[in-house]
Amino acid sequence: MRNDLFIPFYSATYSRKYLTGSYEAKQISQAKTKSYQVCSSFMYHLQHGQLYFNQASNAPIEIKPVLLFYGAVQLLKACILTTDPNYPENSQVLAHGVTTRKRKKSTYRFLDDEIKIQKNGLFSHFLDKMFHMKHLEGEKYQMLTLFSHLADMHSLFGRLSNKSLSFKGERKGNTIFFPPNVLDHYHMTVNRFEQYLEANINDKAAKVKVTETKEYVQISCSSLPPLWNSNPWLFDCDKNIYFFQDREYLKGYSLPELATHFLLLYNLSMICRYEAEWWGDLIHTFDGIDFPYISHYLDVVEGKLPLIISSFLEED
């Protein structure tokens, strides 16, 4: 990860001022006092998260998922403290808040595996505090589905499955240009597509204007969503913008990208720690189709997740 992403926050003076402003904007009482109480914890979580990610960049793939998951947890806790100065209020929010099913070793495929959301824990807590999302208890997500919602994985999907998942757009300010066949894929008129985007965009106050020409579909937005909360758009590590070719991918999936990374890293870290035989066979025999997805994903998340965290902190 870039070592300069969190540099401003390694000043207690700056971090206290930042936290005070964040609490005041959210009308949290005693903002200045609480910023003093939380400041050290906030900075240490960022620092420890960065240390985990830096170690992961030099670690072999055998242990990389563990380092990346614990790094992600530290960075998420820092983000939570910008919105919830009382974190952790109880032991319930200290659990991870997700669970995986028992594996059948002879037939197990990572891409088919599922992860289930629990009522309490870090996962539900950061979704509530950072994204105002609740009531996901019992929801299940397949690993292949999680991978498909990451723009950085789409090129690999195309190579391995011979299927294109998304349109790549060209962005100029708050205007995005997509290929003209996007309307055909969605079976929508310009007006209907405009309404569809406004209904699905995270910023409900944002206004969208769609214009069609022979060369492109132009989407002008009053404001584009940030990297940390970008639905329905997808961004890759280079901040290129994408949009699903099939709207079925957007149905029933509202997780922000941070949540997608949390679920994938949790499962991979559990496999890495507790399924040593399967994990070792995967790495050294290249059997099946899981390895390319996992290997590429670990390279992606190492740089991508800190960027998303930085985007959240910059906007907060």
The per-residue pLDDT for 1 is 66
* Whether residue 182 sits in one domain with residue 230: yes
Would residue 154 count as lying in a domain?
A: no
* Whether residue 133 sits in one domain with residue 30: yes
> Under a CB-based contact definition with an 8 Å cutoff, are residues 259 and 123 in contact?
yes
* Whether residue 71 sits in one domain with residue 143: yes
- Report how many domains make up the chain: 2
* Whether residue 164 sits in one domain with residue 141: no
How many other C-beta atoms can be found within 10 angstroms of the C-beta atom of residue 161? Answer: 12
**CA 226 to CA 224: how far, in whole Å?**
6
* Whether residue 95 sits in one domain with residue 13: yes
Last residue of a domain, one of 250, 277, 305: 250
Chain position carrying tokens 């806790």: 77
How many other C-beta atoms can be found within 10 angstroms of the C-beta atom of residue 258? Answer: 24
* Whether residue 85 sits in one domain with residue 205: no
**CA 304 to CA 53: how far, in whole Å?**
11
pLDDT tens for the 316 residues of the chain, in order: 677 889 999 999 999 999 999 999 999 999 999 999 999 999 999 999 999 999 999 999 999 999 999 999 999 999 999 999 999 988 888 899 999 877 666 788 999 999 999 999 999 999 999 999 988 899 999 999 999 999 999 999 999 988 899 999 999 988 999 999 999 999 999 999 999 998 888 776 678 899 999 899 999 988 888 889 888 899 999 999 999 999 888 787 889 999 999 999 999 999 999 998 999 999 998 888 999 999 999 999 999 999 999 999 998 6
pTM to 2 decimals? 0.94
The per-residue pLDDT for 251 is 81
* Whether residue 170 sits in one domain with residue 96: no
Please give the structure tokens belonging to residue 296: 């590429």
3-class DSSP assignment, residue 258: helix
The per-residue pLDDT for 162 is 86
Would residue 307 count as lying in a domain?
A: yes
DSSP for 217-234, please give it: EEEEESSPPPGGG-TT-E
- Going by C-beta distance under 8 Å and a sequence separation of 6 or more, which residues neighbour residue 292? 156, 160
What is the separation of C-alpha 56 from the centre of its chain, rounded to a whole number of angstroms?
18
* Whether residue 45 sits in one domain with residue 179: no
* Whether residue 173 sits in one domain with residue 290: no
**CA 315 to CA 18: how far, in whole Å?**
11
* Whether residue 241 sits in one domain with residue 259: no
* Whether residue 279 sits in one domain with residue 188: no
* Whether residue 133 sits in one domain with residue 66: yes
Last residue of a domain, one of 231, 250, 269: 250
- Going by C-beta distance under 8 Å and a sequence separation of 6 or more, which residues neighbour residue 149? 234, 249, 253, 255, 257, 260
Last residue of a domain, one of 250, 267, 293: 250
> Under a CB-based contact definition with an 8 Å cutoff, are residues 101 and 113 in contact?
yes
What range does the domain containing 47 cover? 7-149+255-315
